[in-house]
Structure 1
Amino acid sequence: MKKVILSSIFGLMTILGVNAQADSDLVQVGVKGGVNFSNVTGDDFEGPNSRTSFNAGFVAEIPFTERFSIQPEVLYSGQGFDIDQSNQDNFLDNDGNVEYQLDYIQIPVLAKIYLVEGLSVQAGPQIGFKINEEIDYQPNDDAGDIDLEDYSETEDIDISLAAGLEYKFDNGFFIQGRYNYGFSQLIKDYDIHNSVFQAGIGFMF
């Protein structure tokens, strides 16, 4: 809980800091949510199956010109990967999957360029604060969680690049797709990185 509070405060300070440099009368704030298809990639890890989870949080758009804005966000992001155990004789859930759950509070700060009215490209850095790490050998049930907090070797902070497309309608509703690639090594001295595809919707007030 302490990590959640501290990272959320950091995200709020980032939004307020960028907001101070723009015309506050034009700033929009909103909410968003969507689905994550997450995995890890790198030479030191043979690709597992992707984990399907979700993201949700707050977003702001701070315009500097008609076509250029800065878009900071504060999001919960469920990441990690699945391990297929269907060919092994064990006590796992019916579909044979084990989830390795790495969940973050993600704070992207994106440059947003409108190509045409409503349609924009976005890219920028993202800092993630790990708030949960566990193995769930019964992901279709409430049981099966093994907390790895005391045994973790993964880094607490993940630096990544986020890039994607968004279309915003006149009424404030928007849809977006995004890819996040982690530059940080998940485990020190090992070539393992987060890799997340996101699709979502949101609304600007």
Structure 2
Amino acid sequence: MKTRTMKMAGMLLITAILAGATGVSAQEQKTVEESSIQPKFGVKVGLNGSNFYHDDLNDNNMKMGLNAGFFAKLPVGRGFSIQPELLYSNKGSRRSYNNLLMGEGEYRLNLHYLELPVMGVINILPNLNIQAGPYVGYLAAARVNDAKSDGSNNEVAELNSDNFNRFDFGVAAGIGVDIQHITLGARYNVGLTELGKSGSVVGESFNGVKNSNISVFVGVGF
């Protein structure tokens, strides 16, 4: 199925980056005014393309959302840094409808996470890096919105977050391009924790379902 293919492609990307990290020729990365590699602290903002993965789901339900937060890039050695981040990340999925009673639109399940990724970053070229590492996310809120074809977008329900696993653990991998103090990047992350908790109708409906997310972002370091 499409979702299984997407998951496998993402895991292959993560595996390839982790496996190849030890074989690349690490490069120093610094701005023109720096005489040596310096720690950087900055902000980043981007766009998510999120979905769930499960044997009974498909890739046609990808939902767009925002990610934004702070990062620190801490040099460890030549061409290698540890990059912890603190992010807000809007994930979830969507489901379209088109009928005489309700018209045309889609329901969007918005899962609002606070996330802490810790990435290992290797510069394979002075301005090109690959990155991989784990993340942990905390579910702050879960809401359902009704987005109509006329452009209106109204919240129709706030779900009880206690019906979900509050913490989401996963792995992420990506690539970044550094242009002086600006970083442009893309990242794929896959959750390893089931979303639903047993004991409620809502929780049971998410048993076996996990997060899948592709993000693009721009960061500014200082």
Question: Would the aligned equivalents of 2:146 and 2:153 in 1 still touch at CA under 8 Å?
Answer: no
State the distance in 1 between where 2:52 and 2:129 align.
28
Measure how far apart 1:155 and its partner are. Answer: 0.8
Alpha-carbon offset, residue 142 of structure 1 = 5.2
* Equivalent-residue separation in structure 1 for 2:179 and 2:77 (angstroms): 19
Q: Does 1:134 align with 2:143?
A: yes
RMSD: 1.8
Indicate the SS of the match to 1:26.
Answer: coil
Where do 5+ consecutive residues of structure 1 fail to align? 1-24
Count of equivalent residues:
175
Q: Which runs of 4+ in 1 moved over 4 A?
A: none
In the other structure, the counterpart of 1:204 is: 221
Counterpart of 1:68? 80
Pick closer, same or farther for the CA change 1:103–1:62 going to 2, 3 Å. Answer: same
Residues in 2 aligned to 1:74 and 1:35: alpha-carbon distance in whole angstroms: 16
Query: What is the letter of the counterpart of residue 192 of structure 1?
Result: V
> CA separation in 1, counterparts of 2:155 and 2:88?
22
What is aligned with 1:166?
A: 176
Structure with the bigger percentage of helix: 2
Deviations 1:34-61 (CA, angstroms, capped at 9, x unpaired): 1000000012x42251111110000110
Structure of greater Rg:
2
CA distance in 1, matches of 2:160, 2:120: 34
Q: TM (normalized to structure 2)? A: 0.74
C-alpha separation in 2, matches of 1:177 and 1:99: 23
Q: Tell me what 1:147 maps to.
A: 158
What is the correspondence of 1:43-122 to structure 2 with a 5 Å cutoff?
43=55, 45-47=56-58, 49-86=61-98, 88-91=99-102, 95-122=104-131
Kindly state the Cα deviation for residue 188 of structure 1 after the two structures are TM-superposed.
4.1
C-alpha distance in 1, partners of 2:136/2:100?
40
TM-score where L is the length of structure 1:
0.80
Residues 107 and 90 of structure 1, relative CA distance in 2, 3 Å threshold: farther
The separation in 2 between residues aligned to 1:72 and 1:90, in whole angstroms, is 48
Corresponding residue for residue 192 of structure 1: 209
